[in-house]
Amino acid sequence: MNKDIEKILVTEQELNIIAKKLAKQITEDYAGKKLLIVGVLKGSIYFFTDLSRYIELPCNIDFIQASSYGAGTTTSGTIKIIKDISDDLSGFDVLLVEDILDTGRTLKHIKDMIAKRNPNSIAVVTLLDKPARREVDIYADYIGVDVPNAFVVGYGLDYNQYYRNLPYIGILKEEVYKNN
Ligand code: PRP
């Protein structure tokens, strides 16, 4: 285990089971639809690639990048779109893929923006949900696992852009971030 990790919260094996289970549900729900899977960069990359490969349907994939956290451990509340998707989403059933739903501000911003582009539907799948931290009225349609209010990294989630490539979700030791 990485020396900066206090405890593993979701193992590699559990992450695989979660991706397969959610993909099965999505495969059933989106049969016959014009599915567009949109990964929210950068945090969702590993979950996105695992999940999408288990979805047994024809689909388009794309990516959107938003940023809110900066270098700290809490959100600044300001959402910036760094990379966008198509302006016209007519006919598409859009599925947004997130790594974590925290305050909900990022997802709310993206969902509202996409809703104006005339998609057939918009839904959200998140690997991790931290309901205790929610600040805006938003929910995910598909949730991998609820996590406690701890600083989690790995499998796409970062602290100061590091730890994304850990193959598990772990709780970061407080000493790593407490002086920031
Ligand atoms: C993180 C995470 C979510 C968002 C969740 O992204 O990937 O998109 O914050 O937080 P919220 O619910 O409080 O808005 P971040 O902006 O850190 O960018 P990243 O994905 O590139 O790490």
Which tens digits make up the pLDDT trace of 75-105? Answer: 556 888 999 998 889 999 999 999 999 999 9
Longest dimension (CA), the chain: 52
Please write the tens of the pLDDT for every residue from 45-78. 999 999 999 999 999 999 999 877 554 555 556 8
Q: Which among 136, 137, 144, 180 is positioned nearest to 24, based on CA atoms?
A: 144
Please write the tens of the pLDDT for every residue from 115-146. 999 999 999 999 999 999 999 999 999 999 99
Q: Is the CB of 103 under 6 A from ligand 1?
A: yes
Structure tokens at 109: 């911003």
With contact defined as beta carbons under 8 Å apart, do 35 and 95 qualify?
yes
Q: Residue 27 has what pLDDT?
A: 98
Catalytic residue among 102, 129, 137, 146: 102
Q: How confident is the model at residue 20 (pLDDT cuts 50, 70, 90)?
A: very high
- Supply the DSSP string of 17-44, one letter for each residue: HHHHHHHHHHHHHTTTS-EEEEEEETTT
Task: Read off the pLDDT of each residue in 9-26 and give the average, rounded to a whole number.
Answer: 98
SS3 state at 69: coil
Q: Whole-structure pTM over 0.75, yes or no?
A: yes
Tell how far the Cα of 143 is from the centroid of ligand 1, in angstroms: 16
Which ligand 1 atom lies nearest to the CA of residue 134?
12
Q: Residue 98 has what pLDDT?
A: 97
Question: Cα–Cα distance between 129 and 126 in angstroms, integer?
Answer: 7
**Separation of first and last alpha carbons in the chain:** 24
| Residue 102: active-site member | yes
Q: How confident is the model at residue 179 (pLDDT cuts 50, 70, 90)?
A: confident
Task: Read off the pLDDT of each residue in 147-164 and give the average, rounded to a whole number.
Answer: 96
